[in-house]
Amino acid sequence: MDKVLRDKRAILLFVLPGLTLFLLVVIIPMFTSIYYSLLDWNGFGDRTFIGLKNYYELFSGKVFSFNKSIINGFYLTFLTLLFQFPMALVLALILSSEIKGEGFFRTVYFIPVMLSAVVIAMLFQRIYDPNYGLLHMVLLKLGLQSWAEVTLLGNPKTAMTAASFPILWQWVGYHMLLLYAGAKSVPTELREAAKIDGAGPVTTVFRIVLPLMLPVIKVCIVMLIIGSIKEFDVIFTMTKGGPVNSSQMPSLVMIETIFRRYKYGMGSAMAMCIVLLCLLITALLQKIFDRKDP
């Protein structure tokens, strides 16, 4: 093995296929998108170089739907951090404490992740239906007649929140599994030593388990935030960004700009803004966690 590691030709031979694939599917398309974002182009005809005009229009607020979509992306991020992450963490900690039926519950919580986003979106459309949906019937049973008649996905004030809950529900199991693996990797000897020293379950979790899970927690939070900013399929199926742009997301606006309005240059500028936003958030979180992880 040492002989192979010292052979630069052998290293190049092993690295070259992966590097080539990375260049073809990531680096080259990214630089191509940067070039397209500097053009006034409908995707078919002549290309006109306009410099940073597309970016100027985005940041000057002339494209209202994109600004609204960025706000909605942060709103979904807020909901995931407020509901999805704590729920996933609590479930992971409970399951990792070797409860009865650990494997069964782990599988049950992970089932929504395996379902298609379109299926989940259509399922919640039925639940929200103001005429025969499950939520409608529950609210009627509780005597909340006025609430039962609200069309959650058709009201600009409630559409974004209503469309967010299927996303929160679907991905709890995914993050639960990541956090569960992190919790199970904590050495049993440390838990037993803490118990001998008189530490209760809550103290053990806060003083031993959570600090050792910090790398996994960091990965989960980064994936939660970036996933929220890039969300597309569930909201597209449920509301298509409406009504009145109230549930628009950055990727929805980008797709609509490119394939319906035929503004390829503007759509590419939106794509680059999404990429830059995700990179910026990742770098910021990395810096925050580095301070907490001496």
Q: At what angle do helices 214-229 and 85-95 cross, to 10 degrees?
A: 140
What is the DSSP-derived secondary structure letter of residue 25? I
**E strand or H helix at 14:** helix 8-22
Which token pair is 234? Answer: 């569930």
Task: Give yes or no for residue 294 having a pLDDT over 80.
Answer: no
Spatial separation of the C-alpha atoms in residues 74 and 38, rounded to whole Å: 27
User: Is 49 within the bounds of a domain?
Assistant: no
Q: pLDDT tens for residues 221-241? A: 999 999 999 889 999 999 988
160 lies in some domain:
yes
**pTM, full prediction:** 0.87
CATH number at 118 reads 1.10.3720.10
What pLDDT, on the 0 to 100 scale, is given for residue 64? 67
Percentage above 70 pLDDT, the chain: 97
Q: Residue 131: what pLDDT?
A: 84
- Give the side-chain half-sphere CA count within 13 A for 98: 6
Distant-in-sequence, close-in-space partners of 121: CB < 8 Å, separation ≥ 6: 166, 233, 234, 235, 237, 238
Question: Is there a domain that residue 91 lies in?
Answer: yes
Q: Is the pLDDT of residue 2 over 70?
A: no
Count how many domains the chain has: 1
Check: CB of residue 58 under 8 Å from CB of residue 257. Answer: no
pLDDT for 178-229, tens place per residue?
999 999 998 888 888 888 888 888 898 888 899 999 889 999 999 999 999 9
- Which residue, among 212, 249, 210, has the nearest Cα to 230 in the 3D structure? 249
How far is Cα 272 from Cα 59, in angstroms, rounded to an integer? 13
- Asked if residue 57 belongs to a domain, the reply is no
Burial of 33 by CB count in 10 Å (0-12 exposed, 13-18 middle, 19+ buried)?
A: middle
Is the predicted pLDDT of residue 136 greater than 80, yes or no? Answer: yes
Say whether pLDDT at 151 is over 90.
no
SS3 breakdown of the chain: % helix, strand, coil, rounded to 5? 75, 0, 25
Query: How far is Cα of residue 223 from the mean position of the Cα atoms in its chain?
Result: 6
Q: What is the mean pLDDT of the chain?
A: 88
**pLDDT at residue 221, as a whole number:** 92
For helices 264-292 and 250-259, give the axis angle rounded to 10 degrees. 160
Per-residue confidence at 24, pLDDT binned at 50, 70, 90? very high
pLDDT at 82: 94
Domain that holds residue 195: 62-291
pLDDT bracket for residue 145 (50, 70, 90):
confident
3-state secondary structure of 251: helix
Beta bridge partner(s), residue 198? none
- Check residue 63 and give its pLDDT: 74
Among candidate residues 150, 168, 157, 179, the one with its CA nearest the CA of residue 79: 168
Q: Copy the structure tokens of residue 133.
A: 């949906």
What pLDDT is stored for residue 289 in this prediction?
A: 80
Per residue in 25-81, pLDDT (tens digit) is 989 999 999 999 999 988 888 888 998 999 988 888 777 688 889 999 999 999 999
d(CA 219, CA 177): 12
Question: Which secondary structure element, helix H or strand E, spans residue 234, and what is its range?
Answer: helix 233-238
Q: What is the CA 89 to chain-centroid distance, rounded?
A: 16
Q: Give a yes or no: residue 37 inside a domain.
A: no
- Residue 10 in any domain: the answer is no
Euclidean distance between CA atoms 88 and 104, whole angstroms = 16
Beta-carbon contacts of 60 under 8 Å, excluding residues fewer than 6 positions away, are: none
Domain-embedded: residue 45: no
For the chain, what percent of residues have pLDDT higher than 90?
Answer: 46
Predicted local distance difference test score (pLDDT) of residue 161:
92
Is residue 46 domain-resident? no
